[in-house]
Chains A and B, each alone.
Chain A
Amino acid sequence: MGRRTERRTKGRRIAALAVVVPLLLTGVAACGTDSGGGGDVTINFVWWGSEGRANLTKKAVELFQQKNPTIKVQTSFSAYAAYWEKLATQTAGGKPPDVLNVDSRYLAEYGGRNVLADLNSGAGKAISLADINPELAATGVYQGKRYAVPWAQNTPAMIYDPAAFTAAGADPAKGMTWDQYAETAQKVSAAGSARGVTDFGILDTPLEIWLRQQGKQFYTPEGKLGFAADDLRRYWQLASKFRDTKGASPADVTASYNTSPEQSPLGKKLTSSEFAYDNLLPAYQKANGKPLNVAPYPSAANGDTGQYRRPSMFLAVSARSQQQEAAAKLVDFLVNDPEVGKIVGTDRGLAPNLKVRAQLAAGATGNDKTLYDYEAALEPKLGAAPPVPPKGAGAIQKLLQRTYEEVAFGRMSIDDAVNRFMTEAQKGLS
């Protein structure tokens, strides 16, 4: 057989393959990047939360696309913990999404690293803050730069199973002291299979509220810890009292806590109350299956619940976005559009735009109404939000959880755990 020419072509064919395959790959990848749609500009938009929240948000985004046919929005979401994980990798990858959901715990982290655009200048100026409570709007400002705009307002709250608490002879909605709460929790545990409360020793928000009730704060405006070792000791002693009397969840249940309501002990029906945020009521209810309710925090003897108008979460624009204008437009739309307000309801909390909020409050029903009533009743008592937590606040929450777990499992004394927390926290915040 005369193979020579054939041989040469074969050799070439292999060489060609080596060239073609990478092209094919990039081609394939390019196909994957754009999921179609005829917009002139494409922006990415990400948030955290449940499936239900996603459905609402996507409807709002669709409305935005209808009104702005030249902008195409690609959306994506994940659960809270996974969200930060992913956002970190994306940011490290140099391509944070154009519009992103930020939490006050991470505002300084991302703002301080210049990942977020200053909305006081450039395209961000198009975002109207006229109808937003100025105090709330100010929570998005860090070191003089407006890195984010509040997307909703909520307040820390206790979510509980009214049937279980009524059976134990208590009505959290009317307010209780911590002592009364401890007693009730014990009774609730004794009466059924679910414990009275999810052990709150692992959570930063209850610690913050508890500190505020005593006129202290979690972080100072300078970004240091606003409390001393002794405060934390007393807080963990309080939590341990709940746990030791079996009012709070056992250590292994506490350790299974993960920030999404679906995976939390209350959501899994292992406890009858949990400290969270009022807007999460529907999500908890859906996961738990029983009718739940929101109540103010238990208070110190003086009756101060320490709650505040919390920026439930923020919207921010990436400083590296090539589409700042479109991104700012989407933010403005999500924050101020009355129709969006109607679509998303109170899923993230109360609408930040006060006009929209008033409109919605008038027509609210069901869980929405519970929330409006709750916040309306609380309004006079709500304080201003604390300063933006410093860089590293996200890690502090995890540190609190880890060190308290050592206590809950009886592997470390409260004193040792407090020492470890204070040393590591101070290192992390410096």
Chain B
Amino acid sequence: MTTLRTPDPPVAPPASAARGRRRDSPAGRRRKSQPEAFAFLTPWLLGAVALTVGPMVVSLYLSFTDYDMFTAPKWVGFGNFTHMFTDDDRYLQSVKVTLIYVLVSVPLKLTVSLLVAMLLNTRRGANGFYRAAFYAPSLLGASVAAALVWRALFMGGGPVNEVLAFFGWHTPSWVDDPQFSLASIVLLGVWQFGAPMVIFLAGLKQIPAELHEAAAIDGAGAFRRFRHITLPMLSPVIFFNLVMEAIHAFQAFTPAFVIGGGRGGPADADLFYTLYLFEVGFQDFRMGYASAMAWVLLVVIAIVTAIVFRTAKLWVFYDDVESTGENK
């Protein structure tokens, strides 16, 4: 069931052509399965219209209004957007915190996951055990329980403090200090390196061993082989992981909420974008402003994704038709 590198392209034209030959004309068949197709699609279509497209349109409208849920929305034009970028220090702080988080945690997480994946890419015994152990935090890490544990590990007098003090580095309570607080949340993100690692591992297994062998015979060292074989061959997977992890990181909420005590942490050091959005919308009843924030987030994610896709041509190496899986 490898879809990461399926031999045939996803929407298999050869198969449909074959079917066309065997049965009636494609057009006739298309007409035939229309009603059934829409029967199957009904729930999804309903959801797409009522819970996705409809709300998106409404939220776009709301982003140009003042709306507190008690009185009718009041049109303010671009007021929310100009306020955001010119008159709201906390908004800019939330942008800063989120960007730092994305720019630090994503590369760090990908580096760790790639290194560990390379370490595990052998045929030695107990491989499966290690892989499973490294993967476990990816499932647990997003929970409130894990964030609570993290808080305890990094708080004043907690294990991390004590261990660092043992090595002569006396730190304040990480979670309560504006300089360290975000770092503890970044580490919580990196701790969940298992998911991209497993994807890397699958990618590594696809690299033909002969390539490495041939290069080794030619006298290429381990680093050069990594640089000239592993990296290019793995670039589609790196690309995929990068896009997904970035989108994911932009939307982080639970760890910041729990570790930052529900208020953005000390001196707003953990004021993630989504946290501020939640606060603005559901605490201060500024639903119009919150909608505007959501749309800015959407646009930013779209731009980042577009940039990654555009530049992908420069650094992603495709040796055959790729169909990468998707992530959430």
Contacts and interface: CB of A to CB of B under 8 A. Distances in A.
**Majority secondary structure, B binding face:** loop
Interface of A: 18, 81-82, 84-85, 88-89, 91-92, 94, 113-115, 250-253, 255-256, 258, 395, 398, 402, 405-406, 409, 411, 420, 424, 427
A255 B266 contact: yes
Nearest to A420: B89
User: In this complex, which of B68, B156, B176, B179 has the most chain A Cβ atoms within 10 angstroms of its Cβ?
Assistant: B176
B267 A405 contact: yes
B285 A81 contact: no
Interface of B: 42-43, 68-70, 87, 89, 155-156, 172-173, 175-179, 261-268, 281-285, 287
B69 A92 contact: yes
Contacts of A91: 69, 285
A113 B70 CA distance: 8
B173 A253 contact: yes
A256 B70 contact: no
27 contacts: A18-B42, A18-B43, A81-B263, A85-B282, A88-B282, A88-B285, A89-B282, A91-B69, A91-B285, A92-B69, A92-B282, A94-B69, A114-B70, A250-B172, A252-B173, A252-B266, A253-B173, A253-B176, A255-B266, A256-B155, A256-B156, A256-B175, A256-B176, A256-B261, A402-B264, A409-B179, A411-B267
B152 to A, nearest CB: 12
B69 A255 contact: no
A402 B268 CA distance: 7
Given A88-B284, A92-B285, A251-B172, 17 more contacts: A81-B262, A81-B263, A82-B262, A92-B282, A94-B69, A115-B70, A251-B177, A251-B266, A252-B266, A253-B173, A253-B176, A256-B156, A402-B264, A406-B267, A409-B178, A411-B267, A424-B89
A94 B68 CA distance: 11
Contact of A255 (B43, B177, B281, B284): B177
What 9 pairs between A and B have smallest CB-CB spacing?
Answer: A255-B266, A252-B172, A405-B267, A252-B176, A255-B176, A252-B173, A256-B176, A252-B177, A88-B283
A252 B156 contact: yes
Contacts of A427: 87
Contacts of A115: 70
Nearest to B43: A18
A340 to B, nearest CB: 32
Contacts, number: 73
Nearest to B178: A409
B326 to A, nearest CB: 26
Nearest to A270: B156
Contacts of A402: 264, 267-268
B301 to A, nearest CB: 25
A402 B260 CA distance: 12
Contact of A411 (B43, B178, B263): B178
Contacts of B70: 113-115
Nearest to B175: A256
A374 B176 CA distance: 35
A119 B87 CA distance: 39
Contacts of A113: 68, 70, 285
Contacts of A18: 42-43
A427 B88 CA distance: 10
A413 to B, nearest CB: 14
Contacts of A92: 69, 281-282, 285, 287
Contacts of B261: 256, 258
B27 to A, nearest CB: 25
A399 to B, nearest CB: 9
Nearest to A21: B43
User: In this complex, which of B87, B262, B282 has the most chain A Cβ atoms within 10 angstroms of its Cβ?
Assistant: B282
Contacts of B284: 88, 395
Nearest to A86: B282
Contacts of B267: 255, 402, 405-406, 409, 411
A106 B175 CA distance: 29
B266 A84 contact: no
